[in-house]
Amino acid sequence: MGTILYNGDSFTYGDELDDTMVGSPRMHTYAHKLSNQLQSRYVNLAQNGSSNQKIYRTTNNFLQVTQRPISLVVITWSNFGRFELCEDFQLDGDKEINIGRESDMNQIIVSHASENFRYENKDSSADKKRQRILKEYCENVWTMQTAVLHTVSYMNNIQFLCDQMGIGVIQSVIHPHMWSNILHLMKQEGYPDFKKNVAQGLKRLRAECRIGLGGDYSTIYSISEKMGTLKPRGHACEEAHSIFAEQLYNIIQEYNVSN
């Protein structure tokens, strides 16, 4: 097997695990564990705070320029609300919790309920006017429908790209509430074209490319939550990483994923 490419946010990076200091091998993550099972080298592009925009962009960029023979892409998509902005500064709070920058992009991390977003960034280093504008944008412009449609499109595009390149692909979401978000939106009145496009997009995704969005497979968050072992900031424990890696291994065997 060639190299495995992983991408995602802090769950894939391995935040709150014992070995996640900058520069460490992060040997307790599901990426490392699955790669060991498959006896394969791997690259992990995941970073804390990554939005789905960043995950999609950096995955595409890597596949376009790498000289490594990639045999499998594994992506665990982040919460819907996050997005990125190209800015010439980094927030002090991001430095403290190791949210990395790439291409001068800041990750805007928005919390959300079933159908709308809340902006709660209180970083003292940020311009107050900027914070007010972002709050208005996140809560009154950046709709859940927009974010869901974008993410489903990203997932379809990654599946299509990998198929065209002859690369195996597995995709998951980090949290079961992301499926609840979609179900809630699909039951709302109105938005007929949005509903049609999301339904068609989900239907195009194979079972191994929509883990956590219906079906029988568990997200890494729900595995740790069920065991009652979530870390203080809500990340999965090492045992959950092990179980998730085993689940992905079984999916690879069942669907003959990878070349």
245 φ, ψ (degrees, to nearest 5): -60, -40
1 band by pLDDT with thresholds 50, 70 and 90: confident
* Residue 174 predicted with pLDDT over 60: yes
Structure tokens at 259: 């070349």
Higher per-residue confidence, 90 vs 169 = 169
Contact 10, 77 (CB under 8 A): no
Where is average pLDDT lowest: 56-65, 98-107, 203-212? 98-107
Residue 125 confidence (pLDDT):
61
Residue 67 confidence (pLDDT):
93
Find the mean pLDDT for residues 243-250.
98
Alpha-carbon span 193 to 247, nearest angstrom: 35
Residue 124 confidence (pLDDT):
63
Structure tokens at 111: 């919390």
- Give tens-digit pLDDT for 20-49: 555 565 789 999 999 999 999 999 999 999
Q: Where are the alpha helices (DSSP H) in the chain?
A: 10-13, 30-37, 52-65, 92-96, 128-140, 144-165, 177-187, 192-204, 220-227, 238-255
97 band by pLDDT with thresholds 50, 70 and 90: confident
60 band by pLDDT with thresholds 50, 70 and 90: very high
Type of residue numbered 199? A
Q: Which domains are delineated in the chain?
A: 3-82+145-255 (3.40.50.1110)
Average pLDDT for the chain: 92
Higher per-residue confidence, 28 vs 1 = 28
119 φ, ψ (degrees, to nearest 5): -105, 120
Structure tokens at 220: 């890494």
Find the mean pLDDT for residues 51-76.
97
pTM listed for this prediction:
0.95
